[in-house]
Structure 1
Amino acid sequence: MDIQDEIHDQLSRRTFLGQSSAGLGAIALASLLNPTNLFGGASSPGTSMPGENPAVGKPHFPPKVKRVIYLFQSGAPSQLELFDYKPKLEAMWGQDLPASVRNGQRLTGMSAGQSRFPLAASKYKFAQYGPGRMWLSELLPHTAKIAGDLTFVRSLHTEAINHDPAVTFFQTGSQQAGRPSFGSWISYGLGSDNQNLPSFVVLLSKGRDGDQPLYAKLWSNGFLPSVHQGVVFRSGPDPVYYLNNPPGVDKTSRRRMLDYLDKLHQEQFKHVLDPEINNRMAQYEMAYRMQTSVPETLDISKEPDYIFDMYGPDSRKPGTFAANCLLARKLVEKDVKFIQLYHQGWDQHGNLPNDIKIQTKSVDQPSAALIMDLKQRGLLDDTLVIWGGEFGRGAYSQGKLTRDNYGRDHHPRAFSVWMAGAGVKKGMVYGETDDFGYNVVKDPVHVHDFQATVLHLLGIDHEKLTFKSQGRRYRLTDVHGKVVKPILA
């Protein structure tokens, strides 16, 4: 029995669907007439039909941002070594963190057993830069040059205290796996501006071995249609797995196969009404188009020498953070909606002064170069760039403390990120921490507030972009979040 006979045989076992105008057949027909229902689509206040969402595929209001590049620093960079200058730590070097500052807040199992919590000042010097006179570490000389373009949020906080739930929370709005990722929500809400490339692309790089792993759940579509899943572009001759034709299959044969497969899928969809059939076919067609578009996009051989010099020597090495920053610019030029870079290597519980110096050397120049490159091409006017990790680092030393060697444990209560580009004020510092960098004392920003603000810049009302799954309407910000309006331009 071939597949068409099997489909028709399935139909004969389902004839009851067409025999009851008030039964499942009518429900299925209603879904076809209103395809959004089929996807469990979102609803907005005032819509007349259940499941109808006029925002899907277009913004709720005029956006300030067309695309996002998210430079996620996995492992949690120490804000005390990079952005949040605290001279009090030097004045109290080696003394215990006052109990009134910690105030009983929980610690990880890695430092909860310590008998003392000696304060550790950063080994590195700080200076002020830009019209906003923001403090930056000597570890970031290139970032200092673009200080006038940056907006720092120094008052982020989260509930998650360990890496995996914290990264998952930032990327999906939940500490538990299974929710759609940031980029998937944006792809679902706004669609694509380039039919030959995915709307959500992921690039991976590693600063050093032995750091926290990354999982596909971070760019998963969760319960959203599978066409919104992030696509990982890797370095090397095969940037997307299984994209190239196998030996003996040429482009004409592939096209003929896809055309026939589409007929079979359409026949099957008529009878089983599963929307993932069409999603799967859309992915096959995208893969076919990507066979040409991806190699062209990822080819950096024609970039002039001054561009490589701008991004640094690592930009000529595929798979490095610098090379991925250059690729992010090329993807922006192709109107990819959400570009997610993950860079590992920031989990520095010990030997922090040495390790963070190595890590910043790999990211400082290319991060700054990306901003300058986008700016010189006029792309920063409608692109938002974000730089930051899943939480911060604590003020006390984990383990033995010396002037040249110390470590810092996880710290979710207060940490920093920076943003640059469309929709945000330039040269601004928002939020403030106490003298120890331990608690937020002014303008707190929760992870859900941060997510709501990025969606707002894209023209999305975070409370209206929802998706119904298992009887409940979900959104990226769950039931929380407010837009941080003071940082908006």
Structure 2
Amino acid sequence: MFSRREALRSVSAGFGYLAFAGLSSAAAAKEASVNPLAPKAPHFPARAKRVIFLCMQGGPSHVDTFDYKPQLVADHGKRGRYGGQLLKSPFEFRQRGESGLWISDLFPEVARHADQMTLIRSMQCDQPVHPGAMTQMHTGTAQFIRPSLGAWTLYGLGTENDSLPGSVSLSPQSGTARNYGSSFLPAIYAGTKVGGPSARFASRGMTGASSQSVPDIKNPKLSKTAQRRQLDFIQTLNEQKLEHDLVNPGVEGVIESYELAFRMQDVMPDLMDTSGESESTLAMYGVDGGPTDSFGKQCLLARRFAEAGVRFIEVTHGNWDQHVRLSTDHKTRAEECDKPIAGLLQDLSDRGLLEDTLVIWGGEFGRTPAAQGTDGRNHNNKGYTTWMAGGGVKGGFSYGATDEHGYEAVENPCHIHDWHATILHLLGLDHERLTYQYAGRDFRLTDVHGTVAKDILA
């Protein structure tokens, strides 16, 4: 009969033992081939190695940003399909780049990169309310707690840097842990929160609140050698707990996270210290103390994380929920993020990273063509716009379309399951093969749905 220790040595589920065994270099070398975070081969040649997701919380209006509707202008003030008066955009649209994509004046800097972008103008999701739609955008479902897109990406591909999290979420909104969590996937695949919704990252070193942006296990009263001995003792207790419980994913996750946190102490401070960035780079991101400063720093950190081998990086910006004061507040939101996003695209391109970095932009849904009040729009989950750049997508390309006013997708509808399937495909992962058995069945990000939007592939 096998003992618990022997069983853990022989089966891949015993990640807790493997992490503990990794405390000695000889054992680490022996068990490296089954490290759950080790890089994994994709199902087929990947077009992208990593993802930067620019999450626009609150639902930016597609008919005011990236979905030009001249008929909406012509019918301004008329009764809408479902009541209310049609409201033309208060922002001018112009054709951009050699491709001639129509993009509004809300995003003049991003528009300079039109020839690198694919606009998906036929998005759909199942939820017209923020929490449900946001959860579905991140996990594929609004009904249950499921692994996030970042967790599935890390599960499928592993990470390229074993001293950093494979997935990070920069300044996520409060109460949104499920959007970067791992659910029933092993805890090691969960994203790491960096900062909160009001975080202000220092551009000249780790000072002030930013130095506490990532919780760690460092004890300033202990040397690194003493801390290692302390952690070894704690891990011995964790291993004894595993021996007793036989199966305890929570303890295995603690073992993994403690080891990762110990390694992160040497890497994370330098990674988040942007004092070595040139003045021109900071200016490109809008890190200048003005309205672009906060989001600019986050976009700069996203590039640094991508460059360091982090597989999935999410940056959250909001609030775009303009039921009133759309003309002023949408303008303010755009001014905060337009230059930083353009700077990110330019920086990635200059460094040769955009080719294999998939940048995606979007909110949980769009907004109605009809007015709410006199200067606002309601939620619209039947047709809206997201965009992608780099990472194997066509540049200067528009995919799908909404009707003449922008109520719903009528050409090449792209449901959130299709969107997820396409993102995984660009990463070299077949969404139908990327499965995990839980509660007696195989689960996947796209459930039993999803079709890759092959027309957008370069």
**8 Å CA contact 1:28, 1:273 repeated in 2:** no
Q: CA deviation at 1:395?
A: 0.4
Q: TM-score, normalised by structure 2?
A: 0.87
- Give the match for residue 107 of structure 2: 140
Find the counterpart in structure 1 of residue 297 from structure 2.
Answer: 323
1:358 to 332, 339, 346: 332
1:32 CA drift (Å): 5.8
Preserved CA contact (<8 Å) 2:86 2:369: yes
Tell whether the 8 Å contact from 1:200 to 1:231 is kept in structure 2 after alignment.
Answer: yes
Q: Following TM superposition, by how much is the alpha carbon of 1:303 offset from its aligned partner in structure 2, in angstroms?
A: 0.5
Following superposition, the deviation at residue 177 of structure 1 comes to: 4.2
Paired residue for 1:89?
72
Contact 2:4 2:246 (C-alpha < 8 Å) held by counterparts? no
CA distance in 2, matches of 1:240, 1:318: 20
Pick one of 160, 163, 167 that aligns with 2:130.
163
Structure 1 residue 127 corresponds to structure 2 residue 88: no
Deviation at 1:246, TM superposition (A): 3.5
Question: Is 172-181 or 62-71 further displaced after alignment?
Answer: 172-181
Unaligned runs of 5+ in 1: 1-17, 19-24, 40-52, 103-115, 206-211
Identify the residue that residue 204 of structure 1 maps to in structure 2: 171
Name the residue aligned to 2:191. 230
Shift of 1:441: 1.9
Q: How much has 1:154 moved relative to structure 2?
A: 0.3
Q: Deviations over 1:433-469 (max 9, x none)?
A: 1110112121111100000010011111111111122
In structure 2, what is the equivalent of residue 186 of structure 1? 153
What amino acid sits opposite 1:82 in the alignment?
T
Contact kept, 8 Å, 2:292 with 2:337, in 1: the verdict is: no
Hey, what does 1:474 align to over in structure 2?
443
SS, match of residue 395 in structure 1? strand
Letter in 2 for 1:307: T
Displacement of 1:422 = 1.6
Contact 2:286 2:293 survives alignment (8 Å):
no
Tell me what 1:109 maps to: none
- Residue 33 of structure 1 deviates from its aligned partner by 3.1
- Cα 1:329/1:35, change in 2 over 3 Å: same
Task: Map 1:441-480; keep pairs closer than 5 Å.
Answer: 441-480=410-449
Q: Who is 1:248 aligned against? A: 221
| Matched residue SS, 2:109 | helix
Match status 1:64 vs 2:47: yes
Contact map agreement 2:420 2:445 (CA 8 A) in 1: yes
Cα distance in 2 between the residues matched to 1:442 and 1:152: 13
Q: Relative to 1, partners in 2 of residues 1:301 and 1:26: Cα closer, same or farther, differing over 3 Å?
A: closer
Quote the Cα distance in structure 1 between the aligned partners of 2:215 and 2:305.
Answer: 21
Contact 2:287 2:297 in 1 (8 A): no
Task: Provide Cα deviations, 1:290-335, integer angstroms capped at 9, x if missing partner.
Answer: 1121110000111100011111145799982111000001011101
For 1:89, the aligned partner's letter is: L
> 1:82: how far off?
0.6
Question: Do the aligned residues in 1 keep the contact of 2:401 with 2:410 (CA within 8 Å)?
Answer: yes
The amino acid across from 1:263 in the alignment is T
1:274 corresponds, among 247, 255, 269, to: 247
Distance apart, 1:187 and its partner CA: 1.0
- The answer (yes or no) to whether the contact 1:316–1:323 under 8 Å persists in 2 is no
Residue among 30, 35, 40 paired with 2:12:
35
SS in 1 for 2:446: coil
1:291 equivalent in alignment to 2:268: no
Deviation at 1:179, TM superposition (A): 0.6
Confirm or deny: 8 A CA contact 2:287 2:293 kept in the other structure: no
> What SS class does the counterpart of residue 394 from structure 1 fall into?
strand
Q: Does 1:172 align with 2:139?
A: yes
Of the two, which has the highest radius of gyration? 1
Post-superposition CA distance 1:368-390 (Å, at most 9, x none) = 11010000000111110001101
> Structure 1 stretch 27-36 or stretch 471-480: which is displaced more?
27-36
Q: C-alpha deviations, 1:218-254, integer Å up to 9, x for none? A: 1111011111111011243434454152442332221
Q: Aligned residue for 1:217?
A: 178
1:427 aligns with 2:396: yes
**Residues 382 and 422 in structure 1, CA contact (< 8 A), matched pair in contact too:** yes
CA deviations over 1:143-181 (Å, ceiling 9, x no partner): 111111111100011111100000000100110241111
Distance 1:314 1:229, change over 3 A: farther
1:173-215 deviation line (CA, Å, top 9, x unaligned): 110241111101111111111011000011017xxxxxx8551
Shift of 1:132: 2.0
- Taking a change above 3 Å as real, the CA distance of residues 260 and 66 of structure 1, as seen in their structure-2 partners, is same
Are 2:386 and 1:386 equivalent residues in the alignment? no
Distance in 2 separating the partners of 1:279 and 1:120: 51
1: CA distance between counterparts of 2:288 and 2:159?
31
Q: Give every structure 1 segment of 4 or more consecutive aligned residues whose post-TM-superposition deviation is greater than 6 Å.
A: 25-31, 315-319
Q: Give, in whole Å, the separation in 2 of the partners of 1:376 and 1:462.
A: 31
What is aligned with 1:414? 383
- Unaligned residue ranges in structure 2 (runs of 5+): 17-35, 196-200, 202-208
The yes-or-no answer on 1:151 pairing with 2:118 is yes
| In 1, Cα distance between equivalents of 2:123 and 2:14 | 37
Q: Is the 2:5–2:243 Cα contact (8 Å) retained in structure 1?
A: no
**Matches of 1:315 and 1:379, distance apart in 2:** 27
- Structure 2 distance, partners of 1:58, 1:124, is 46
Once the two structures are superposed, what CA deviation does each residue of 1:105-133 show, in whole Å capped at 9, x if it has no partner? Answer: xxxxxxxxxxx410000011111012221
Letter in 2 for 1:73: M
Q: How many residues align?
A: 425
